Structure 1
Amino acid sequence: MPKDARISPDQLRSARWFAPDDLRSFGHRSRMMQLGYAEEEFLNKPIIGILNTWSELNSCHGHFPERVKDVKRGVLAAGGFPVELPALSVDESFTKPTSMLYRNMLAMETEEMIRSHPLDGVVLMGGCDKTTPGLVMGAITAGVPMIFLPAGPMLRGHYAGKILGSGSDAWKYWDERRAGNITDEEWIGVQGGIARSVGTCMTMGTASTMTSITEALGLSLPGASSIPAADSGHQRMGSECGRRIVDMVWEGLTPDQIVNPASVRNAAIVAMATGCSTNAVVHLIAMARRAGVDLTLDDLDALGRETPMICNVRPSGKDYLMEDFYFAGGLRALMTQLTDRLDLSALTVTGKTIGQGIEGAAVYNDDVIRPLSNPVYSEGSLALLRGNLCPDGAVIKPAACDPKYWVHEGPALVFDSYSEMKKAVDDENLEVTPDHVMVLRNAGPLGGPGMPEWGMLPIPKALIKQGHRDMLRISDARMSGTSYGACVLHVAPESYIGGPLALLKTGDIVRLDLPNRQLNMLVDEAEIEHRRAAWQAPEPRFERGWGYMFSRHVTQADKGCDFDFLERSFGQAAGEPDIF
């Protein structure tokens, strides 16, 4: 649509439901009146859907019942008509085997709810890890004007005078408890102090990574991803989203005008600079491909090699949490450090460029948000590996592991299931050394199922008691964005479908060469082929329901784990219902 052009009320998408003088529209208007609304309240106004991923089992979104009121307040102030639609919550903490199994379900639900209802625009309310990519993937495909409202990080954790970071310190103190260094009382104290408000994890885990990526894509209002959930600024941001989405409808500003190769590249650069979660790889690829941008692992690795990590926030950073990041200037300030690397002309939901969105932003603490001349880590957060163990790729987070493992060679200790691994690592008599390479397989998209966050394999108790806190670990699983350590993840193709990881045996020598981006088993090719010929496919994980659909259509990690039948319509909106 030409700049400054605005649609008329009869061009509203919702007008197809409500405007005609026919029997079907009579029924639509009648049902709105049944809900207590007069025609003056909803006719000839943008109808704004508020997709709310709240549930009583999603602590990250505990404030959403109140925040949706702020969004509605903004919509009404701008002359729109707000309607709340509940969406699948896919909480990270309680959903088993993993919320990743249901990310695509939320994406499909989002797409279909928008497509099938009289919505002119949508505000997407999410933040807990999979809700951000799920909502965005669905809304990109649906093609109506949209804004993403991030849940915001929780406040800093505290216990016994120490600042705690959710996830990261849980793993840290759990190792100390397994070593016998933490009492029951201290453990309960950490448990009660590590998550002390509503909001997502306050480390730069998957939640803050994905909300930062979404803002860098141009799909959130400037600064939205950095505001703590409990801050009153978050209420004001909710109202601002409500006001802005109404104007976006009149302007006809849709996601296809915003998400393109330039904005995806911006998002990847920002992700690398923040010390992002390894999960960013799977989700950003999936989001980009929904918009017709064929982002690859090699693209991400190339950007990672040239983008310094400048965000000193745990777990990749050493000292700070998201609340500190917010007070240091937040994502807008971080992006000002990257202006020479970003395409500042990329359009955002504001109707202005991302360059205009960061004008006036300043860094208030240059230890939290470092200048490029003093990075936390000289390269970006992630590195992509290839080799005979992962011909389609694997991912590692170099900044979050001991550098001595960047080049490492050792014997494999292979586990075929999570339960087998869990039992072994608690055996104090397990024959294992710090040079061993722990391997978990059958934990990928199909094998997990759903690619659970099992990739940060626990250090064996025998080594914990010797004082060791890291070792090289490999899996086709993911790991929590709050995790750390020498963990190689997302091995593709996964072992469950016969990927090379399925052919590895305990005792085989594994070599990681991070500088050269190589991961290999030092096994003769003839022996590998012999093992491949003898490999037998496991029984299917599902024979019914969602799992049945998932197992037949999910792509591998290097393609984003989206459904193949959703990828085939690159760049196309979902289309409109024909029957009225």
Structure 2
Amino acid sequence: MSDGLKKGLTSYGDSGFSLFLRKAFIKGAGYSDDALDRPIIGIANTASSYNPCHGNAPQLLEAVRRGVMLAGGLPMDFPSISIHESFSAPTSMYLRNLMSIDTEEMIRAQPMDAVVLIGGCDKTVPAQLMGAASANVPAIELVTGSMLTGSHRGERVGACTDCRRFWAKYRAEEIDAAEISGVNQQLVASVGTCSVMGTASTMACVTEALGMSVPGAASPPAVTADRIRVAERTGAVAVQLAKSKLTPDKIMTANAFENALRVLLAIGGSTNGVIHLTAIAGRLGIDLDLARLDALGRETPVLVDLKPSGLHYMEDFHAAGGMATLLRELKPLLHLDAMTVTGRTLGEELEASGEGFKQDVVRSRDKPIFAQGGIAVLRGNLAPGGAIIKQSAADAKLMEHEGRAVVFENLEDLAKRIDDDALDVKAEDILVLKNIGPRGAPGMPEAGYLPIPRKLARAGVKDMVRISDGRMSGTAAGTIVLHVTPESAIGGPLAYVKSGDRIRLSVKSRSIELLVSAEELAARAKANPVTAPVAPRGYRKLFLQSVTQADKGVDFDFLRK
């Protein structure tokens, strides 16, 4: 039996009056008693003119409402914070936790028996799943879907791996201003999220693997009929959830998170996915261990041939059968008894998906894109708490490398000096950027993808080892060490690296070492102690006081269970 309008009554000291008043006001919108007696399905609407990744939200909302009503429920949409990667200062990660609080509290505050969460752009889906995990009301995620690809001079292009590739060509003076302007018209051919295996596509896939979206929900592009049908079914399943009271904690179990990590590794997914899954799990009291992630990575190959680790786009992954095709290949490695939002197990849903067919986007386990998972965990005196490298998108020649550090103290220092022809830098050096961690920036921006210094780019250098305590876009490629923990802004070893120091990277041995003695590092720390940043007021003050490090999901400490 649903709670409907009686759920979470406003307190006036008289519950009967509270319900009477609530009904009086909602009837002002024209609702009948028959409508109000049905299971109420909240729909978190993240449509925003600032968020083209959610440009299809009105159509999805209509389809969800249709699905809810066909299944006998009452849809009630409500606005929520919407975050777009390119329209969020200082960074979208800075606002993810705020959106999660908004989502959690609106689910708690308003009467709903279940909630549909419409998200897409990178931080919106994790924020919604974090909020839903904390509120623990029956919930289901609906991703907006990927954009279509465009064409530039006969070449297929899509955001945002190709954004970075063409911009690198422009910086290297391989193409002119007219061409970069022309390709800018084609990189985003429709509304929707990035068309490669960036963070948005990664979160769509791992959400389905977690069991928090309907089967087949991850891959349909935003502007397709398939996406609309997924939305309608999502509304219907939400009504089932309301009736069964199947809550997120029953679905997002430790085994479900291990399935999600397997998928993250097999798709060559975004390094951001590690942080987001850690944060979502933390809301449920589940600790995701980096050592376990690395162990899974050693036995889970990259199978999905999508940029930036491969060649294809999300449209192609969908045409190849989407997640069902991948899950069939991973079946021996998965916990098939994990529950999903449909009320059936992952194994049952996989059996219901039918037979596979010939395609070339998802490889078999004996012919992988990359023999190990896309992400490797590094440790050493430079990263005692761990660091991450996306090995599937790195240059194999650089994954065992020793070089001289060229250090940038912060983003301003990087912007000032990276293109200076007087910069003392060579192709074999290692670029180091400090103070872009959770507290340092603040908000851990996607600046870990340091540009190749212009003079080296002009000379044809395409990749270098780069190290930071920040993040990079899931659409980016390169030999890039990220999430160095503890971060430099709170006195992690990265804070004391100097230009000219030697650094050794060994992905094979999973190590990142600063070739400086412990005594010398201690002396540097004593001579130049770090003062962690603070803020006088507002959300920034809360953020700097409460945000955790990368290995804990960059969530607020008081929001973890």
CA drift of 1:178 comes to 1.4
2:321 is aligned with 1:326 = no
Out of 28, 50, 69, the residue aligned to residue 76 of structure 1 is 69
Check 1:479–1:361 CA distance in 2 against 1; reply closer, same or farther (3 A cut): farther
Partners of 2:109 and 2:485 in 1: CA distance: 36
Partners of 2:557 and 2:531 in 1: CA distance: 22
Moved more, 363-372 or 409-418: 363-372
Aligned to 1:391, what secondary structure does the other structure show? strand
Q: Which residue of 1 aligns with 2:224?
A: 231
Out of 507, 514, 520, the residue aligned to residue 500 of structure 2 is 507
Out of 396, 399, 416, the residue aligned to residue 406 of structure 1 is 399
Number of equivalenced pairs: 557
CA drift of 1:41 comes to 1.4
TM-score, structure 1 normalization: 0.94
Partners of 2:314 and 2:423 in 1: CA distance: 39
What letter is aligned with 2:318?
Answer: Y
Q: Which residue of 2 aligns with 1:205?
A: 198
Q: Which residue of 1 aligns with 2:367?
A: 374
Q: Which residue of 2 aligns with 1:40?
A: 34
Partners of 1:361 and 1:320 in 2: CA distance: 24
2:541 is aligned with 1:548 = yes
Partners of 1:157 and 1:425 in 2: CA distance: 31
Whether contact under 8 Å (1:14, 1:47) holds in the other structure is no
Q: Which residue of 2 aligns with 1:186?
A: 179
Mapping for residues 374-393 of structure 1, pairs under 5 Å: 374-393=367-386
Out of 448, 470, 476, the residue aligned to residue 469 of structure 2 is 476
Whether contact under 8 Å (1:449, 1:541) holds in the other structure is no
Out of 345, 350, 354, the residue aligned to residue 358 of structure 1 is 350
CA drift of 1:14 comes to 3.8
2:271 is aligned with 1:281 = no
Q: Which residue of 2 aligns with 1:337?
A: 329
CA drift of 1:366 comes to 3.9
Q: Which residue of 1 aligns with 2:510?
A: 517
Out of 340, 352, 366, the residue aligned to residue 348 of structure 1 is 340
Partners of 2:174 and 2:151 in 1: CA distance: 19
Aligned to 2:331, what secondary structure does the other structure show? coil
Partners of 2:229 and 2:7 in 1: CA distance: 30
2:136 is aligned with 1:152 = no
CA drift of 1:367 comes to 2.4
Partners of 1:178 and 1:312 in 2: CA distance: 28
Partners of 1:16 and 1:434 in 2: CA distance: 61
Partners of 1:175 and 1:552 in 2: CA distance: 37
Check 1:433–1:341 CA distance in 2 against 1; reply closer, same or farther (3 A cut): same
Out of 149, 160, 168, the residue aligned to residue 161 of structure 2 is 168
CA drift of 1:428 comes to 2.5
Q: Which residue of 2 aligns with 1:575?
A: none
What letter is aligned with 2:341?
Answer: V
Deviation per CA, 1:176-228: give whole Å up to 9, x if none. 11121112221111100010101100100000101111110000000101111
What letter is aligned with 1:562?
Answer: D
2:396 is aligned with 1:430 = no
Whether contact under 8 Å (1:14, 1:119) holds in the other structure is no
Q: Which residue of 2 aligns with 1:3?
A: none
Partners of 1:356 and 1:114 in 2: CA distance: 30
CA drift of 1:541 comes to 4.7
CA drift of 1:490 comes to 0.4
Out of 233, 245, 270, the residue aligned to residue 240 of structure 1 is 233
Q: Which residue of 1 aligns with 2:308?
A: 315
Q: Which residue of 2 aligns with 1:253?
A: 246
Q: Which residue of 2 aligns with 1:462?
A: 455
What letter is aligned with 1:204?
Answer: M
Partners of 1:503 and 1:428 in 2: CA distance: 26
CA drift of 1:538 comes to 3.9
CA drift of 1:535 comes to 2.5
Whether contact under 8 Å (1:447, 1:541) holds in the other structure is no
Aligned to 1:511, what secondary structure does the other structure show? strand
What letter is aligned with 1:340?
Answer: P
Aligned to 2:261, what secondary structure does the other structure show? helix
Unaligned runs of 5+ in 2: none
Check 1:306–1:23 CA distance in 2 against 1; reply closer, same or farther (3 A cut): same
Deviation per CA, 1:534-577: give whole Å up to 9, x if none. 2333463522111100110010001101111111xx3xxxxxxx
Unaligned runs of 5+ in 1: 1-7, 571-580
What letter is aligned with 1:304?
Answer: G
Q: Which residue of 1 aligns with 2:114?
A: 121
Aligned to 2:192, what secondary structure does the other structure show? coil
Partners of 1:17 and 1:313 in 2: CA distance: 48
Q: Which residue of 2 aligns with 1:450?
A: 443
Partners of 2:435 and 2:122 in 1: CA distance: 23
Deviation per CA, 1:42-69: give whole Å up to 9, x if none. 12x1111100111101010011022101
Deviation per CA, 1:463-492: give whole Å up to 9, x if none. 111111000000001000100101100000
Partners of 2:83 and 2:502 in 1: CA distance: 39
Whether contact under 8 Å (2:378, 2:386) holds in the other structure is yes
What letter is aligned with 2:21?
Answer: G
CA drift of 1:15 comes to 4.9
What letter is aligned with 2:313?
Answer: L
2:24 is aligned with 1:30 = yes
Q: Which residue of 2 aligns with 1:576?
A: none
Out of 259, 272, 286, the residue aligned to residue 266 of structure 1 is 259
CA drift of 1:305 comes to 1.1
Deviation per CA, 1:82-129: give whole Å up to 9, x if none. 111111101111111101001111111111111111111000000100
Identity %: 46
Partners of 1:13 and 1:340 in 2: CA distance: 45
Partners of 1:542 and 1:53 in 2: CA distance: 29
Whether contact under 8 Å (1:75, 1:242) holds in the other structure is yes
Deviation per CA, 1:387-424: give whole Å up to 9, x if none. 00000000001110111111100110011111211222
Partners of 1:450 and 1:15 in 2: CA distance: 36
Partners of 2:257 and 2:15 in 1: CA distance: 44
Moved more, 385-394 or 534-543: 534-543
CA drift of 1:21 comes to 7.8
TM-score, structure 2 normalization: 0.97
What letter is aligned with 2:326?
Answer: L
Partners of 2:293 and 2:315 in 1: CA distance: 28
Q: Which residue of 2 aligns with 1:4?
A: none
Deviation per CA, 1:491-550: give whole Å up to 9, x if none. 000000000000110000000011111001100111111011123334635221111001
Out of 503, 515, 528, the residue aligned to residue 521 of structure 2 is 528
Aligned to 1:93, what secondary structure does the other structure show? helix
Check 1:431–1:363 CA distance in 2 against 1; reply closer, same or farther (3 A cut): farther
CA drift of 1:16 comes to 5.9
Whether contact under 8 Å (1:554, 1:561) holds in the other structure is yes
CA drift of 1:361 comes to 4.3
